[in-house]
Copies of this chain bind each other. A is one copy, B any other.
């Protein structure tokens, strides 16, 4: 990639994640905040119907509809499949190249601060992350190669990534997190400007990141009903170490369930509201370092 020519900033891929929705609306109202001379910025609200109804989605999770297969399927079955195809066309109008970058704005009830989620270890993204983590200690980096296959919006573009902010409740705007996210976006755009101008700042090039290992579900009975809650010692402790033998769940019968893994892990997405139905109580990650 020689130059960044088009950047898409997307909010409301999930309709009840208001930080992204209102950041995009703010940028639409004050475009000078994100317009830069050396590229074109595209602002986009993802799941329009879900935003209007204050829901994550109408028929199915839009952020699982961007698989190649799905995007080529002409038998539209529901709103989100249709909307995913519309979004793809907006990101790549006929006879034009695809956008170079997608910044997909999400929020979570987990205490994940300002997390960058990447599908892979693309050197450009790793260096961007090293810069952002060096100027803001709230920034964390999560690499989840699984999400390359899952039909996520970020996966349709080589430099697609998510900014996942929390903890914030669904359908709530938290001004502090909103402003932190806004400042992070400006820092990203500044980095892109430097990149296009050919002079990236000197940074600490030792990047700490967290890599996907797997997910853990809540303990459930045969009917699928949950039998335990995230343990108080784990709640809001995203990115902190969880060691074998430490409590992970507290059952409704008031007993503790211990983590039975063989090594220390770093849970994230702990108690994300939208993941109960996906069978995910948390993601487990391993902490890594890399010179980028």
A169 within 8 A of B: yes
- Of B54, B173, B179, B229, which is within 8 A of A271 by CB? B173
Cα separation A117 to B101 with both chains bound (whole Å): 50
- Contact pattern, A 223-263, Cβ under 8 Å of B = 1, otherwise 0: 00110011110010000000000000010110000000000
On whether the beta carbons of B231 and A171 are closer than 8 Å, the reply is no
Q: What copy number does this chain have within its complex?
A: 2
B175 close to A232 (CB less than 8 A): yes
Jot down 18 A-B pairs with beta carbons below 8 A, ordered by A: A22-B226, A22-B252, A25-B252, A54-B277, A109-B172, A168-B169, A169-B170, A169-B273, A172-B273, A173-B226, A173-B230, A173-B271, A174-B229, A175-B231, A175-B232, A176-B235, A178-B229, A179-B232
Chain B residue numbers with a CB within 8 Å of A109 are: 169, 172
Asked if A276 is at the interface of the complex by the 8 Å CB criterion, the answer is: yes
- In the assembled complex, which residues on chain B have CB atoms less than 8 Å from the CB atom of A54? 276-277
Inter-chain CA distance A273–B273, complex, in Å, is: 14
| Interface size of A in residues (CB-CB distance below 8 Å) | 34
Q: Which residues of B contact A175 (CB under 8 A)?
A: 229-232, 235, 250
- The interface residues of chain B lying within 8 Å CB-to-CB of A74 are none
Is A220 engaged at the interface, CB distance under 8 Å to the other chain? no
The listed residue with most B CB atoms (<10 A of its CB), out of A226, A229, A235, A274, is: A229
A254 to B31, CA, bound (A): 15
